[in-house]
Copies of this chain bind each other. A is one copy, B any other.
Amino acid sequence: MARRAQTSTAVLGALAIGPLTGYEIRQAITTVLGHFWHESFGQIYPCLAELEADGLIAATPGERAGSRRFEITDAGRGRLRDLLLEPAPPQAPRNGVLLRVFFGRELPDGAMTDLLDDVATEARTRLATYAGIRAGIAADPEYATHGRFWEATIRAGELSAQATIAWVAEVAPSLTT
């Protein structure tokens, strides 16, 4: 029931937008959702089997032999709604960069500069990626109904990346001797 609740939410949510095969769910999660949500592939198929057994999704034969395309059922849509209404479980923070900055005095000269440079570069790359995703989703036929939610999600990523870049610019002078 509640054990794989978050994985179920992601899978049911994806299927609420349109029917997909397990492989396609996996792809959707790595490309679009991948920037704020992660699923281990080893969990998707067991999760699909469980959801199907519970009547929350239904399979139709896919184009290829052996492949199955899943659709969300009315019961599944109700369950998704319930799952989305539950408060988001707090993610235990494990920020490796901040851990290194916090103990930064133990870092040899130059290492802090490298670390901060990498962080800023990564944030800039993320910004570019978001721009690409934005262009991609705008072409999606579901954009009319889901677009504003997708845009808001990407916007969170952009503001976060910009905050990171601003942070590096602000603290670098005092941390790099």
Interface residues of A (CB under 8 A from B): 6, 9-10, 13, 16-17, 33-38, 77, 80-81, 84-85, 87-108, 111, 118, 145-146, 148-153, 155-156, 159-160, 162-164, 166-167, 170-171, 174-175
Contacts and interface: CB of A to CB of B under 8 A. Distances in A.
Main DSSP-derived SS at the A contact region: helix
Give the oligomeric copy count: 2
Contact of A167 (B155, B171, B174): B155
Given A101-B149, A162-B163, 8 more contacts: A37-B98, A77-B106, A84-B103, A103-B149, A105-B146, A152-B171, A159-B166, A159-B170
B160 A174 contact: no
A94 B152 contact: no
24 contacts: A9-B103, A10-B99, A36-B99, A37-B99, A37-B102, A81-B106, A81-B107, A84-B106, A84-B111, A85-B111, A88-B99, A88-B100, A89-B96, A101-B149, A101-B152, A101-B153, A105-B145, A148-B175, A152-B175, A155-B167, A155-B170, A156-B164, A159-B166, A159-B167
